[in-house]
Amino acid sequence: AKEEGRNTTRFFSPQMQARVQAHAEMEAALRQALDEGVFQLFYQPQFCRDGKLVGAEALARWPVEGGRMVSPADFIPVAEDTGLIVPLGGWVLDTACRQLAAWQAQPGTRTLSLAVNVSARQFHQPDFVLQVTSAMQRHGIMPSALKLELTESVILGDIDETVARMAQLRTLGVRFSLDDFGTGYSSLSYLRRLPLDQIKIDQSFVRDMLDNAGSETIVLAILGMSRSLGLEVIAEGVETEAQHAFLLEHGCQRFQGYLLGKPLPLAAWPAHWLDSCAG
Ligand code: C2E
Ligand code: CA
Ligand code: CA
Ligand code: CA
């Protein structure tokens, strides 16, 4: 309107207002979903160089009316903003440890590992170490089978605190993977300081590496660097045979992606995945 001249300050534009409202509605719905325990975990398989199953990544799913799933890409950021990632992440950890206990009780699946995503806000909770150790104890699992996936956002805060916390858990046997590697801003000197077991090449580089010289260079650099640092390397987002072959050729050790298997509820896993497990 004409009255709203250049100097009128409106706090929210209609678009912003809609976004704020959507955020508030999602927060309320998330809270209710947590109370009602409707979240699910899907499991995406991870394979080694000779094609055997070595583990899985646990990925949260939020089923809503009509059989639809809200994507974690939509609800995880809201859960992080509101702090609901703390109880949600606690549920994910507990559920993952329960699944590990079931695998460890079976001769054919004893060696499988399970990767769990941990948000910065969850990792920096004062009782995070206790949360992890009590989940492991509650289910009586071998800690070395649990792999915590951290993104570079976790180390943006206090690097000394981060290293100390990781070291504490690593002493217990828990493993760490650096997720979405190459997309953040952390320097290589940080990488050297972090007590890591694995680096995960981000899917954006895997997607482009065969058509884009820059992505190819990054992938090769990550593979070379991981080798010299003695870190295991896994590629995510492997969608084609050509990508798989290229990564194999250049020494990548672990593979995850739609080519090999999409995230699924465990009950929907094809039998041959578990049959291929080393034991
Ligand atoms: P992420 O940790 O990078 O997980 C990989 C994402 O890539 C997953 O999306 C997975 O389904 C998808 N993906 C796997 N293979 C392929 C492929 O070959 N091609 C393509 N295009 N995509 C592939 P998803 O399950 O939608 O999860 C999205 C993000 O949400 C995750 O990204 C992670 O950052 C977050 N997230 C999921 N579950 C949790 C959780 O329990 N806790 C926390 N903190 N974050 C979670
Ligand atoms: Ca991940
Ligand atoms: Ca990732
Ligand atoms: Ca990602």
Residues with Cβ within 5 Å of ion ligand 4? 180
Please give the distance, rounded to the nearest whole angstrom, from the Cα atom of residue 179 to the centre of ligand 2: 6
Given the cut 0.90, state whether the ipTM is greater than it.
yes
pLDDT per residue of the chain (279 residues) written in tens, 0 to 9: 444 455 556 677 888 888 888 888 889 999 999 999 999 999 999 999 999 999 999 999 999 989 899 999 999 999 999 999 999 999 999 999 999 999 999 999 999 999 999 999 999 999 999 999 999 999 999 999 999 999 988 888 788 999 999 999 999 999 999 999 888 776 677 788 899 999 999 999 999 999 999 999 999 999 999 999 999 999 999 999 999 999 999 999 999 999 999 999 999 999 999 999 877
Please give the distance, rounded to the nearest whole angstrom, from the Cα atom of residue 180 to the centre of ligand 4: 5
Report, in angstroms and rounded to the nearest whole number, the Rg of the chain calculated over CA atoms: 20
**Kind and range of the H or E run holding 61:** strand 53-64
Please give the distance, rounded to the nearest whole angstrom, from the Cα atom of residue 172 to the centre of ligand 4: 27
- pLDDT at position 104: 97
**Residue 66: HSE in the Cβ half-sphere, 13 Å Cα cutoff:** 2
* Nearest alpha-carbon partner for 41 in 60, 24, 25, 22: 60
Beta bridge partners of residue 103, listed in sequence order: none
- pLDDT at position 55: 98
> Which ligand 1 atom is the nearest neighbour of the CA of 80?
44
**Kind and range of the H or E run holding 70:** strand 68-70
Please give the distance, rounded to the nearest whole angstrom, from the Cα atom of residue 184 to the centre of ligand 1: 16
Q: Name which residue sits closest to atom 22 of ligand 1, judged by CA.
A: 237
- pLDDT at position 6: 58
- pLDDT at position 21: 83
Residues with Cβ within 5 Å of ion ligand 3? 179-180
